[in-house]
């Protein structure tokens, strides 16, 4: 059973509306283009954008008040759900040499009644090409269609809900003072404002170009980045400034509000590990996170956890030894994998259906960790067997093995 698609983070959460989420989850990325008539409009006219537009429901969610979509960028282009984006330029000679020309990706990225086909659609669904106008406003001299400073190139125009990664982009060291959880958004900020990168249109390794949505680093705050994207931050980065742009300073209050926006969840509740798999193990089912009783949503202190005893008055306990066996059914060689939570005397035995022991595979003290045991089942008669992992001579956990 497919529980959730593992593709572009938050596509289902931020773009696909509630009534279509189960359908979206049931599909694969290979079916996306075939379902364009069903799902395309949610990228072109995202439901979430209605709550970032005062023409619609901008006042309904006060927490989103700093995020406002361009409705009259440069006095001519509107990206609200009832507007046309850049479609007025369709077929114009001004688009020659750009990604929006029909002979490039214009039929994909410049559609009628689809204002966000020019930014959200490629961000979420096709990737972004290193072609005009998808370059930073640095060096464009006020013309958003002119050549600017490259900062992203990860297009796969076949489309699909997939995470795209350009491996040519250098990794930003975690100890770099310019490393940021804002990923590619922060790379755009640096390319527009930092003298180390905004003095020319040359290709440079701007810090955080390796961040989401060009791949996904563990530290990247994908929720915040996508909220900023829906509110038009990428449009601003390429020169389609916010409505309060006065013609001189593009770092207007509207843009600063978007760039400084915080969700209130600004740190992980546990540090990353220094080696694979880098993420911390999830809290056990016996942990009760009280989050320090902080209900404001604004705190950044990691929550504390209270350990609940493994067993209760109901006599219910969580398994202390996790065990699995594969292949199952087995014909010749079988592998048993098991986990020991604390140093213990471990015994692993194989029993037949009559409860008779037919094999002892392990009987020794073992430290905490994950172990595997390979054993030959070829001489066992066909039938059903039980593998028991016994800790310190107490009760064990058993699994069934079928021998063919």
Residue 308, both tokens: 């609940």
Q: Determine the pLDDT at residue 306.
A: 44
pLDDT greater than 90 at residue 293:
no
What is the reported pLDDT for 354?
A: 78
Does 316 score more than 60 pLDDT? no
pLDDT bracket for residue 311 (50, 70, 90):
very low
- pLDDT over 60 at 308, yes or no: no
Question: Order of strands, edge to edge, in the sheet holding 369-376?
Answer: 321-326, 333-340, 369-376
Q: What is the mean pLDDT of the chain?
A: 88
The pLDDT of residue 290: 54
Which residue has better confidence, 215 or 146?
146
Band of residue 288 on the pLDDT scale cut at 50, 70, 90 = low
Mean pLDDT on 181-194 = 97
Percentage of the chain surpassing pLDDT 90?
58
Q: What pLDDT band is residue 396 in, cutting at 50, 70 and 90?
A: confident
Nearest to 350 by CA among 322, 369, 318, 325: 325
- Which candidate, 190, 238, 184, places its Cα nearest to that of 211? 184
**What's the burial of 103, exposed, middle or buried (CB within 10 Å: 0-12/13-18/19+)?**
exposed
Residue 29 burial class via C-beta count within 10 angstroms: exposed 0-12, middle 13-18, buried 19 and up: middle
Across residues 331-353, what is the average pLDDT?
89
**Distance separating alpha carbons of residues 203 and 380, to the nearest angstrom:** 66
Residue 360 to residue 350: CA distance in whole angstroms: 6
Question: Which of 312 and 87 is assigned the larger pLDDT?
Answer: 87
3-state DSSP assignment of residue 237: helix
pLDDT surpassing 70 at residue 312 = no
* pLDDT over 70 at 367, yes or no: yes
| Cα distances (Å, whole numbers) of residue 250 to 139, 237, 246 | 13, 10, 8
Rounded to an integer, the average pLDDT of 302-314 is 42
- Would you tell me how many other CB atoms lie within 10 Å of the CB of residue 387? 25
Does the pLDDT of residue 219 top 60, yes or no?
yes
Work out the average pLDDT over 330-359: 88
Distance between CA atoms of 182 and 295, rounded to whole angstroms? 25
> 217, 51 in Cβ contact below 8 A?
no
* Residue 288 bridge partners (DSSP): 306
Question: Counting beta carbons within 10 angstroms of the beta carbon of residue 239, is it exposed (0 to 12), middle (13 to 18) or buried (19 or more)?
Answer: buried
Backbone dihedral angles phi then psi of residue 265, each to the nearest 5 degrees:
-110, 95
Q: What is the pLDDT of residues 143-160, one digit of tens each?
A: 999 999 999 999 987 788
pLDDT-based confidence at 299, cuts 50/70/90? very low
Listed in sequence order, the DSSP H helices in 13-164 are 21-26, 36-44, 106-109, 120-121
**pLDDT at res. 309:** 46
Residue 295: pLDDT band with limits 50, 70, 90: very low
pLDDT band at 291 (very low <50, low <70, confident <90, very high): low
Q: How much is the average pLDDT of 90-106?
A: 97
pLDDT given for residue 314 in this prediction: 36
* Predicted pLDDT at 4: 66
Longest CA pairwise span in the chain (Å): 86
Task: Give 32's contacts (C-beta < 8 A, 6+ positions apart).
Answer: 39, 125, 159, 160, 161
Give start-end residues of each CATH 2.60.40.1930 domain in the chain.
Answer: 321-403
Cα–Cα separations (whole angstroms), residue 248 to 237, 311, 326: 15, 67, 67
CA 68: distance to chain centroid?
Answer: 23
Q: Is residue 386 predicted with pLDDT exceeding 50?
A: yes
**Which tokens in the block code for residue 283?**
């809290």
Give CA–CA dist 394/309, Å, rounded. 18
Angle at 18 between CA 16 and CA 21, to 5 degrees: 60
CATH number of 321-403: 2.60.40.1930
In this prediction the pTM is: 0.71
- Distance (Å, rounded) from C-alpha 229 to C-alpha 25? 22
Closest CA to 151 of 132, 136, 131, 173: 136
Percent of the chain with pLDDT over 70: 90
> Tens digit of pLDDT for each residue in 7-53?
788 888 888 888 898 898 888 888 888 898 999 999 999 999 999 99
Mean pLDDT of the region 370-391: 90
Candidate from 118-127, 209-218, 295-304, 370-379 with smallest mean pLDDT: 295-304
Say if residues 44 and 111 touch (Cβ distance below 8 Å). Answer: yes
Extract the tokens encoding 225: 């980045």
pLDDT at 345: 92
């Amino acid at each position: 059973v497919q529980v959730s698609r593992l593709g572009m983070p938050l596509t289902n959460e931020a773009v696909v509306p509630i009534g279509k989420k189960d359908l979206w989850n049931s599909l694969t990325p290979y079916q996306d283009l075939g379902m364009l008539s069903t799902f395309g409009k949610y990228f072109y006219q995202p439901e979430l954008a209605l709550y970032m537009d005062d023409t619609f429901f901008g006042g309904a969610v006060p927490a989103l008040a700093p995020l406002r979509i361009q409705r009259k960028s440069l006095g001519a282009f509107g990206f609200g759900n009832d507007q046309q984006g850049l479609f007025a330029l369709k077929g114009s000679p001004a688009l020659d040499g750009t990604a929006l020309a029909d002979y490039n990706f214009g039929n994909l990225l410049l559609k009628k009644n689809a204002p966000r086909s020019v930014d959200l659609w490629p961000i979420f669904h096709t990737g972004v090409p290193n072609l005009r106008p998808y370059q930073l406003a640095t060096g464009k001299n006020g013309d958003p269609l002119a050549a600017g400073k490259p900062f992203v190139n990860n297009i796969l125009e076949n489309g699909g809900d997939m995470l795209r990664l350009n491996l040519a982009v250098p990794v930003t060291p975690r100890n770099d003072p310019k490393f940021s959880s804002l990923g590619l958004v922060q790379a755009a900020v640096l390319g527009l404002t930092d003298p180390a990168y905004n003095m020319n249109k040359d290709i440079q390794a701007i810090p955080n170009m390796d961040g989401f949505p060009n791949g996904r680093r563990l530290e990247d705050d994908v929720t915040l980045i996508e909220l900023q994207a829906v509110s038009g931050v990428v449009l601003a980065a390429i020169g389609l400034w916010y409505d309060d742009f006065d013609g001189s300073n593009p770092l207007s209050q509207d843009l600063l509000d978007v760039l400084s926006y915080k969700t209130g969840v600004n740190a992980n509740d546990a540090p990353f590990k220094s080696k694979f798999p880098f993420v911390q193990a999830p809290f056990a089912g016996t942990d009760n996170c009280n989050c320090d009783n902080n209900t404001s949503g604004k705190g950044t202190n990691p929550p504390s956890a209270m350990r609940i005893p493994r067993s209760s008055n109901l006599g219910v306990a969580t398994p202390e030894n996790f065990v699995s066996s594969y292949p199952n059914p087995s014909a010749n060689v079988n592998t048993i994998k098991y986990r020991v939570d604390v140093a213990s005397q471990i015994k692993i035995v194989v029993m037949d259906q009559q409860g008779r022991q037919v094999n002892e595979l392990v009987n020794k003290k073992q430290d905490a960790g994950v172990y595997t045991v390979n054993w030959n089942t070829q001489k066992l008669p066909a039938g059903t067997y039980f593998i028991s992992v016994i800790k310190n001579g107490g009760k064990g956990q058993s699994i069934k093995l079928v021998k063919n």
